[in-house]
Structures are given as C-alpha cells and as structure tokens.
A and B are shown apart, each in its own frame.
Chain A
Amino acid sequence: MDRFLQELTKGLWKELPPFRLLLGLCPVLAVTKSASSGLGMGLAVLFVLTLSNAIISLVRGIIPSKVRIACFITISATLVVAVELLMQAYAYPLYLQLGIFVPLIVVNCIILGRAEAFAAKNPVHLAIADGLGMGLGFTMSLTFLGSIREILGAGTWFGHPVLWEGFQPFSVMVEAPGAFLCLGLILAAMNYGTHRQISRRNREAAAEAPSGCGGCQACSANRG
C-alpha cells in the first residue's frame, strides 16, 4: 500500500512530467492556449496513460522483448482511437478545439516512456498508480500553463473575465511564442527555487558544524 501511494504521488511533484522530466512537450506547448483546452488534453492523456500502463503491465510476460516497442505503440494507438471516438460523441467542441493533437497523443513521449520505464517491469496495481499519478501531474501542469497564458493573453480564466476592466491583453501569450516564453520562465523559476533550497541546506549544514577547527579532516577523523 505504501508503495502504491509512493508511485501515485511521485508524478505530482518530484517527477512532474512536463516540467521535471521534459517529456511530451508538443501538447504542452500547443494546446495550452486556454485553461479549458489544457484541462481537456490532460484528461485525455490521463485516460490513455492509465489504461495503457495497465494493459502493458498485464501482457508484459507475453510480449517478446524484440518487438515490444511496436506492441506498446499498437496498444496506445488503439486507446487513442477509442478516446477520439468518445470525444466525438460526448465532447465535440473540445475535439474541434484540440484538433490534430488528439490523434497525436499516440506519439506523446510520456505514454511510451512510462510503458518502457515502468509498466513493462512492474505489477498491475503499481503500473496503474504510476499512470494515474503521472496523468494527474500532466493534467495539473497543462491546466496551470493554460491558466497563465489565458489570463495574460485574453484576461479570462475558463472563459470568465478575471482581470480589471480596461486590461490590455498580451495577445502574444496565446500565440506560439507565448508558449515557449511561458514554459521557459516557469522552468527557470523552478530551477531558482531548487538552487535556493540547496544553498539554504548547505548554509544550515555549515551552521550546525562546530566553528573554528570543525571543518578539517583531522577533527572528523577523531570524532568518527
């Protein structure tokens, strides 16, 4: 059970797919023009990723390792076709909005990456946890990026105006360049946070060490 929770939560922060692992960048950059399309894309990927992880984990003993990549692609492509048909039936406006990026989920590196790195080596319940966690992390990131771009680029959030009246939207944020700039700045901010954390930890470690002769080899050898 602990292991299950661990696999589930690692995708939410420690290995957050688009920001930490830099996997599956195409949909991240292309469909985050608005918060709602980011959320829709994220949910579609969540669905495909969880099921493909589960199926691949179930059949992992049967697939010969030489043709495994082709098998993984076939499985995920089948699921993507299912998602396409479901979206056409129940969420047609979203399907039109996402356009070509729905079929392109097949070549999203996250799906193949998790299949190869995790699902092909682990039992079913862990593979499902991994798929759910990674999918949720992906959905969160896409919604977050979509929110920033929509708020700055159009002054709305999920279609509702959220900024003051007379706000001049930066329309470049909802165009292609905005995606690159926005993701670049987010990654830089995350790096900055990580650096700060590391240097604070180093400083605390330095403060804890006894002052004066504490740092040299001889003392630590004596103490050890």
Chain B
Amino acid sequence: MSVFEVFISAIFVNNIVLAQNLGNCPYLGCSRERGVALGMGTAVVFVTVMATLCTWLVQKYLLEPVHLEYLQTLVFILIIASLVQFVEMFLKKAIPPLYASLGIFLPLITTNCCVLGVTLLVQREDYGLMMALLYAFATGAGFLLALLLMAGVRERLEVCRVPKAMAGTPIALIMAGIMSLSFMAFKGMV
C-alpha cells in the first residue's frame, strides 16, 4: 500500500474507535467538552507516536535477536507505562504550558488500549520504521477526530430533551453507533 493509502485508511476507513472498537473508554469518558476532548486527543497522538518508536526499536533490536517475542505484551506495556511517566516529568520541567493542558490526561493514557493496540498492530502488519510512525500518527489523528466529533455532538445533546431512560451513556452510545454507521461509508475509498 502506498503511504497515502495507509494514511487515509488509518484516519477514516479503519478509524481506531469507530471501525475497530479500540479506545472506547476515553471516547465515552472524555467527550463531554470540546476542550477536554482536544487535550486528550493530542496527548494520545503524542504518546502513540513515541510509544511506537520505542517499542519498534525494542522489538527489532532486543526481542527478536534473543527470540523472546512471546514476551511482547509484557515488555510493551512496561515500556508504555514508563514512557508516559517520563513524558510527564519532561513536560513538567521543559514545557510547563503544555503540561498544564495535557498533564492530567497523561496518566490515563497508560491504560488506553489505543496505544498498546497500535504498537501491537504495527508488529502484526510488519511495517518498517517510517511506515510504523506514519501509521501511529494517522491512527492517533483518527482518534482525535472521532473524539472531537463526539464532543461536538454531546455539547448539543446537553440542551436536548432526551427520554429519561436514554439520558447519559445510552444516548451517547447510540450517537456513537450512528457516527460509526456514517464512517462505514468511507469503506469504498481505499
């Protein structure tokens, strides 16, 4: 597949939330306000790319030479957890304004299945390093897009009259279903 196809496919056709059902907890939990959604989404893009870089190098130069591929899951999650800690400390020292806007989302990202999912998918698809980074960036961007769209819808939903039994999570899930239906229309693109 060409670079462009991978990019479009990761954002629209195989959107990580709406087509692959990954990263649903933050998708439903952090989509009440647009500001929060933007912060969470940006943090996910950033961490996904960093994590893909680290895990790709570790897999290639550490696990494969000593044939410990079966420890992939364990090693990857530890890398992601320590990476998130490290990024948090770095941002706090180096770029305080960015830390102020992303800081609270960073600890949550360790258990976001988006990040671990992308690092594992990259290994299953056997991408090269540049392709892996591009894929990670595009997937993160797809997550950001889905989160922002959902936040916009839910802000409108606040002022709508919803049946009592539907209020809260059920209506959000139905909205997500409809959004996912409309994203199915992108299937013909690639």
B164 adjacent to chain A (CB < 8 Å): yes
Question: When A and B form their complex, what is the total count of cross-chain residue pairs whose Cβ atoms lie within 8 Å?
Answer: 120
Choose one: A22, A104, A184; the contact of B113 (CB below 8 Å): A104
Interface residues in B149-181 (C-beta closer than 8 Å to A): 163-167, 169-174, 176-178, 180-181
A6-30 CB contacts (< 8 Å) to partner B: 22-26, 29-30
A-side binding surface: helix, strand, loop or mixed? helix
| Interchain CB contact under 8 A, A183 and B73 | no
Contact at B176–A26, with CB atoms within 8 Å?
Answer: no
| In the A-B complex, the 6 residue pairs with the closest CB atoms | A184-B173, A180-B177, A30-B21, A181-B177, A192-B165, A188-B170
Contact status B181-A179, CB under 8 Å: no
Interface assignment of B124: CB less than 8 Å from any CB of chain A: yes
| Pairwise interchain contact B81-A70, C-beta atoms closer than 8 A | yes
Contact of A78 among B74, B81, B111, B124 (CB under 8 A): B74
A166 lies within 8 A of chain B by Cβ: no
Which residues of chain A come closer than 8 Å to B178, judged between CB atoms? 177
Contacts of B172 in A (CB 8 A): 184
Interface of B is mostly: helix
Which residues from chain B contact A191 at a C-beta distance below 8 Å?
164-167, 170
Q: Are B180 and A180 within 8 A (Cβ)?
A: yes
A215 at interface (Cβ–Cβ under 8 A)?
A: no
Inter-chain CA distance A175–B184, complex, in Å, is 9
Q: Check B121 for interface membership: any CB of A closer than 8 A.
A: yes
Give the residues in chain A near B18, CB-CB below 8 Å: 176
* Interface bracket on B: 35 or more
B window 86-124: CB within 8 A of A: 110-113, 116-117, 120-121, 124
The answer, among A80, A176, A184, for a CB contact under 8 Å with B170, is A184
Taking the complex as formed, is A200 at the interface, i.e. its CB lies under 8 A from any CB of chain B?
no
Residue contact B116 to A107, C-beta cutoff 8 Å: yes
Q: Is the CB of B74 within 8 A of A30?
A: no
Whether, in the assembled complex, A187 has its beta carbon less than 8 Å from a beta carbon of chain B, the answer is yes
Q: Which of A28-80 contact B (CB under 8 A)?
A: 29-30, 69-70, 73-74, 77-78, 80
Is B134 among interface residues, defined by CB-CB distance under 8 A? no
19 contacts between A and B (CB under 8 A): A23-B25, A24-B25, A26-B22, A26-B24, A70-B78, A70-B81, A74-B74, A81-B71, A176-B20, A177-B177, A178-B177, A184-B173, A184-B176, A187-B170, A187-B173, A188-B163, A188-B165, A188-B171, A195-B164
